[in-house]
């Protein structure tokens, strides 16, 4: 089955780590409040930045949540060594991931979805 070309710019919402479908971001409750995101069965935590401009905030939310809200642990982790991250262009209304290649179509508004997966060993003392 071939998708029609006009739809090919939109891709399925799959986790960049395990390639399973992920759920639409929802409110995830934390000690400090909540963030928009979710947890993939593979252990990756994702946070949504609907504007694409507060990626730092989404990153902190996802990373600290992945560390079970242990901030000192979160700040001590080494990127690419203790955890991996992956940022997707994401349209929340359509629940679709937009391809990175080329420029996102301006008519398809996209926010960002940041995925963080902490290596298991990094969470142990």
Q: What are phi and psi of 34, to 5 degrees?
A: -160, 165
Q: Select the residue interacting with Zn ion from 44, 47, 88, 114 (CB under 5 A).
A: 44
Q: Please, which residues have CB within 8 angstroms of residue 39's CB and are 6 or more apart in sequence?
A: 28, 45, 46, 65
> Is residue 74 a contact residue for Zn ion (CB under 5 A)?
no
Sign of the torsion formed by the C-alpha atoms of 56, 64, 101 and 5: negative
> Is residue 21 a contact residue for Zn ion (CB under 5 A)?
no
Residue 52 CB, shortest distance to Zn ion, in Å, is 22
Closer CB to Zn ion, 19 or 53, in the complex:
19
> Is residue 66 a contact residue for Zn ion (CB under 5 A)?
no
Closer CB to Zn ion, 15 or 67, in the complex:
15
Contact range with Zn ion by CB under 5 A, out of 15-23, 69-77, 93-101, 103-111? 15-23
Residue 48 CB, shortest distance to Zn ion, in Å, is 15
Q: Please, which residues have CB within 8 angstroms of residue 48's CB and are 6 or more apart in sequence?
A: 25, 35, 36, 37, 58, 90, 92, 111, 112, 113
> Is residue 17 a contact residue for Zn ion (CB under 5 A)?
yes
């Amino acid at each position: 089955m071939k998708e029609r070309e006009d739809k090919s710019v939109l891709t399925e919402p799959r986790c960049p780590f395990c390639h399973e479908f992920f759920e639409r971001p929802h409110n995830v409750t934390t000690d400090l409040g909540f963030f928009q995101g979710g947890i993939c069965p593979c252990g990756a935590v994702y946070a949504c930045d609907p504007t694409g401009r507060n990626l730092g905030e989404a990153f902190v939310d996802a990373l600290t949540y992945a560390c079970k809200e242990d901030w000192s642990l979160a700040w001590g982790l080494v990127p690419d060594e203790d955890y991996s991250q992956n940022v997707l262009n994401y349209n929340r209304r359509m629940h679709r991931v937009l391809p990175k290649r080329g420029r996102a179509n301006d008519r398809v508004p996209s926010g960002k979805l940041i995925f963080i997966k902490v290596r298991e060993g990094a969470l142990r003392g």
